[in-house]
């Protein structure tokens, strides 16, 4: 039976609100009985998969879990995601995870890896220190060495050796998933009325807790259903959302931006599913292929090194490619990478005559009304006076 967009979105929304990670637990049981969590922004999910474990994205608890224990570990003014993740762990909801990967996002996530070792002494924990030097003989060799070490450790954890052939098969599955997500983003860019971001976001987030093949099928199913759905064509302002790459915004915030008269036609939400801009491929050494892809095909973001002189050019290119009329900087409260990047990015937008506005949010934000007023005014301004 063919599902409608409403059916698919309802399924994805149930996964969004499920703090017990039911889909991830079921996938773990189906695929060898191992699951390894990862924090945003990036993790080498292909290696986790090749080791026979289910990669599970942990992006905090949203605005429906009261933070109590987390405030004992972190200052309450810091971003919400590490504190709510502590409460998820303390409540036992993440006990099904056999390991956790903490990427090199910021000092807060780095420190969370140490907190996890205290909270879960029997859980495999690894801080994933990604390269900041993009010379193939320096950063490339370093990252290949780190990936091989991760493969060995995960193989010991699960009892499944990460052979080259197993890794190639996993790379192919995630390449297929990335291709589906690229098609989904192209649909939203070209026909945003058919694929509102509030729906696209839910479909993408379901990938955090689903088997990769099942998620690819879900994305393809949504694309087909969206193309077959009649929806009114709106004259909304086309915007790019930047800064939401780590702590994910509440669903209500995304809906607020849309209701204010904006089409989000590009964003940096859930970058793990779009980290590589092209397929990694199955040719050659799979570890080296992943390392080379990291150096040459990754999306620009504040957590990756880039010369200051080049900061902002990639954002301008995204705006042009998406035919956007302006940029909304939506950064989590106290997100140092996003907030340090913003002045350089906005300066380049000013040089190019591209309008922008900015606000901060939290997982549990209650500021939807003023944000709607701000983004609504921004959308009206672009429609009335912008020449961008």
Beta carbons of 188 and 73 less than 8 angstroms apart: no
pLDDT score recorded for residue 308: 62
- Measured CA to CA in angstroms, residue 75 lies from 62, 81, 86, 127, 331 at distances of 18, 12, 13, 21, 18
Beta carbons of 258 and 238 less than 8 angstroms apart: no
Burial class (CB in 10 A: 0-12, 13-18, 19+), 303: buried
- Candidates 276, 313, 317, 279; CA nearest to 298 is 276
pLDDT score recorded for residue 70: 85
Neighbours of 118 (CB within 10 A): 9
Residue ranges of the chain with per-residue pLDDT less than 50: 388
Element (H, E) at 312: none
In whole angstroms, give the CA distance from residue 210 to residue 92. Answer: 20
- Candidates 160, 190, 20; CA nearest to 92 is 20
pTM of the model: 0.94
Beta carbons of 83 and 66 less than 8 angstroms apart: no
The overall average pLDDT reported for the chain is 93
Can you read off the two tokens belonging to residue 377? 């005014």
In whole angstroms, give the CA distance from residue 208 to residue 40. Answer: 10
């Amino acid at each position: 039976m063919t599902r409608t967009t409403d059916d698919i979105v309802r399924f994805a929304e149930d996964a969004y609100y499920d703090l017990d990670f039911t889909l991830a637990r079921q996938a773990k049981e189906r695929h060898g009985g191992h699951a390894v969590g990862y924090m945003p922004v990036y993790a080498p999910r292909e290696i986790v998969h090749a080791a026979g474990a289910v990669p599970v994205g942990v992006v905090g608890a949203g605005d429906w879990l009261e933070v109590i224990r987390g405030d004992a570990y972190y200052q309450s003014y810091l971003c919400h995601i590490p504190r709510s993740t502590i409460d998820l762990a303390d409540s036992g909801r993440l006990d099904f995870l056999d390991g956790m990967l903490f990427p090199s996002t910021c000092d807060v996530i780095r420190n969370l890896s140490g907190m996890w070792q205290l909270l879960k002494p029997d859980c495999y924990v690894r801080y994933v220190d990604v390269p900041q030097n993009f010379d193939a003989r320096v950063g490339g060799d370093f990252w290949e060495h780190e990936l091989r070490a991760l493969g060995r450790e995960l193989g010991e954890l699960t009892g499944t050796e990460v052979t080259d052939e197993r890794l190639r098969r996993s790379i192919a599955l995630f390449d297929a998933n990335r291709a589906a997500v690229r098609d989904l983003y192209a649909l939203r860019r070209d026909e945003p009325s058919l694929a509102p971001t509030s729906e696209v976001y839910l479909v993408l987030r379901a990938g955090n807790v689903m088997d990769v093949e099942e998620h690819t099928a879900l994305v393809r199913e949504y694309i087909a259903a969206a193309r077959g759905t009649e929806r009114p064509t709106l004259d909304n302002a086309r915007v790019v959302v930047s800064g939401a790459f780590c702590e994910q915004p509440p669903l209500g915030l995304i809906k607020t931006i849309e209701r204010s008269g904006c089409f989000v036609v590009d964003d940096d939400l859930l970058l793990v599913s779009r980290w590589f801009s092209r397929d990694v491929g199955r040719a050659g050494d799979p570890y080296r292929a992943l390392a080379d892809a990291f150096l040459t095909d990754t999306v620009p973001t504040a957590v990756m090194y880039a010369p200051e002189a080049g900061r902002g050019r990639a954002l301008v290119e995204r705006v042009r490619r998406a035919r956007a009329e302006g940029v909304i900087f939506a950064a989590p409260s106290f997100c140092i990478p996003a907030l340090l990047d913003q002045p350089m990015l906005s300066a380049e937008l000013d040089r190019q005559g591209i309008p922008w506005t900015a606000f901060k949010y939290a997982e549990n934000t209650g500021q939807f009304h003023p944000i709607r007023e701000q983004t609504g005014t921004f959308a009206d301004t672009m429609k009335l006076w912008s020449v961008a």
